C-alpha cells in the first residue's frame, strides 16, 4: 500500500515532533537563563527599587502604562522614561506636578499624593528598569 498513512506512522510523527519541540524548549530555556545575568540588571536591585516596585503595584501604574512592553497602552511606555527625562528629580517633579482632578477633556495622570520616600522609590524603580538590557524591546513604533 504505497502512499497510505497508517496510525502507527501518525503516532510516530506525533511523538517524534513532541520530543523534538520539548528538547528545543529545554535548550532555549537554558540559553535564556544563561544570558539573564548579563541583561537583567540584578546587581542594581536595592531595597529602594523593591519599594518602588511596590508603589508601582499599589497604585496600579500598569493599568495605564506599559513597562518593557507589558501593561496597558493608555499612557506612555515607562521602560525608558529615565533616559527620556534624564534624572530622578525630573521624574519626581513630573509626578508631583499632576493636577488633582486631571486635565478636563484630556487623559492625564492623576495626582497620587505620594510621600517623598515613595516618589524617590518609584523614580529609583524606573531608573532600574531603564538599565535593563531589553534588546531594544519594545520597539519604538512611531508613524
pLDDT tens figures, 7-34:
999 999 999 999 999 999 999 999 999 9
Range of the domain at 3: 1-39
Together in a domain, 90 and 77: yes
Residues 58 and 33 in one domain: no
pTM (predicted TM-score): 0.74
Based on the domain organization, do 71 and 30 belong to the same domain?
no
Judgement on whether residues 86 and 143 belong to the same structural domain of the protein: yes
pLDDT at residue 143 greater than cutoff 50: no
Same domain flag for 32 and 77: no
Residues 68 and 112 in one domain: yes
C-alpha span between 18 and 59 (Å, rounded)? 43
Count of domains forming the chain: 2
In this predicted model, what pLDDT tens digit does every residue of 97-118 receive, in sequence order? 888 776 677 788 888 999 999 9
Of 16-20, 33-37, 52-56, minimum mean pLDDT range: 33-37
Torsion region of 69: left, alpha or beta (phi above 0 gives left; psi -120 to 50 gives alpha): left
Q: Is there a single domain that holds both residue 136 and residue 79?
A: yes
Q: Are residues 72 and 19 in the same domain?
A: no
Amino acid at each position: 500500500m504505497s502512499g497510505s498513512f497508517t496510525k502507527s506512522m501518525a503516532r510516530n510523527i506525533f511523538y517524534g515532533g513532541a520530543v523534538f519541540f520539548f528538547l528545543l524548549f529545554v535548550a532555549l530555556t537554558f540559553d535564556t537563563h544563561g544570558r539573564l545575568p548579563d541583561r537583567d540588571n540584578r546587581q542594581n536591585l536595592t531595597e529602594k527599587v523593591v519599594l518602588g516596585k511596590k508603589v508601582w503595584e499599589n497604585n496600579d501604574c500598569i493599568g495605564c502604562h506599559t513597562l518593557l512592553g507589558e501593561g496597558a497602552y493608555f499612557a506612555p511606555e515607562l521602560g525608558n522614561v529615565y533616559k527620556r527625562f534624564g534624572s530622578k528629580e525630573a521624574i519626581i517633579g513630573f509626578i508631583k506636578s499632576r493636577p488633582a482632578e486631571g486635565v478636563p477633556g484630556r487623559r492625564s495622570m492623576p495626582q497620587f499624593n505620594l510621600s517623598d520616600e515613595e516618589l524617590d522609590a518609584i523614580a529609583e524603580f524606573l531608573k532600574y528598569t531603564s538599565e535593563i538590557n531589553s534588546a531594544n524591546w519594545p520597539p519604538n513604533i512611531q508613524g
